[in-house]
Amino acid sequence: MQITENQRLRIIRKSLKLNQKEFGDSIGLTQGGYSDIERGKNSVSGRIKIFLNQIHNINIHWLETGEGEMFSVTIEDLAKNFVGFRKPGELSPEEIEKLNLELEHLKAEIFRAQCEINLYRDLCASKDKVISGLEELVKLMRER
């Protein structure tokens, strides 16, 4: 059985030892709003994903796919793991592979974020057109 984003969200909340109200509050949702997402009634929006990453350091790739680590690896984490290594030749093949894998995940996350930005830009442009049309309609109605 495939685990959904919504189910992974519950796993995240449980791992942080928070109840629905506390977790919802932390990402700007009511307990009921968060509960709807966790139960699968509503999907996990891009905005929520951004908050999850910024506030709880959640790896969005893991949330979406279940692949990788639940929590994002930060530059500080990487530095701690490789303290003492001064030259690339001193890294083991496993450590190099780990860095390459993290690099690929970060590139994929950047690509998804850029796609999301483009979608929001298109949405804003579309709404701007609707607003302009409505303003024109209001202007015409007032002239009558």
pLDDT of residue 119: 86
The per-residue pLDDT for range 1-34, each reduced to its tens digit, is: 789 999 999 999 999 999 999 999 999 999 999 9
Task: Give the structural domain span for 113.
Answer: 73-144
Give the pLDDT band (50/70/90) at residue 67. Answer: confident
Mean pLDDT is lowest, of 67-76, 79-88, 130-139, for: 79-88
The per-residue pLDDT for range 68-78, each reduced to its tens digit, is: 889 887 666 66
Helices marked H in the chain: 5-15, 20-26, 31-38, 46-56, 60-65, 75-81, 93-143
Same domain membership, residue 39 and residue 15: yes
Q: Which residue has the tokens 């932390």?
A: 26
pLDDT of residue 73: 72
Same domain membership, residue 94 and residue 80: yes
pLDDT of residue 85: 52
The per-residue pLDDT for range 42-62, each reduced to its tens digit, is: 999 998 999 998 889 899 989
Q: Report the domain count for the chain.
A: 2
The per-residue pLDDT for range 98-122, each reduced to its tens digit, is: 878 888 888 888 888 888 888 888 9
Same domain membership, residue 1 and residue 64: yes
How far is it, in rounded angstroms, from Cα 63 to Cα 71? 9
How far is it, in rounded angstroms, from Cα 78 to Cα 99? 8
How far is it, in rounded angstroms, from Cα 129 to Cα 49? 28
- From the list 3, 18, 19, the residue with the least C-alpha distance to 63 is 3
Same domain membership, residue 102 and residue 49: no
pLDDT of residue 62: 92
Same domain membership, residue 131 and residue 117: yes
Q: With b meaning 16 or more CB within 10 Å and e meaning fewer, what string describes 22-58?
A: ebbebbebeeebbebbbeeeeebebebbebbbeebeb
Give the pLDDT band (50/70/90) at residue 63. Answer: very high
Same domain membership, residue 42 and residue 7: yes
CATH number for the domain that contains residue 54: 1.10.260.40
* 115 residue type, one letter: C
Q: Model-level pTM? A: 0.54
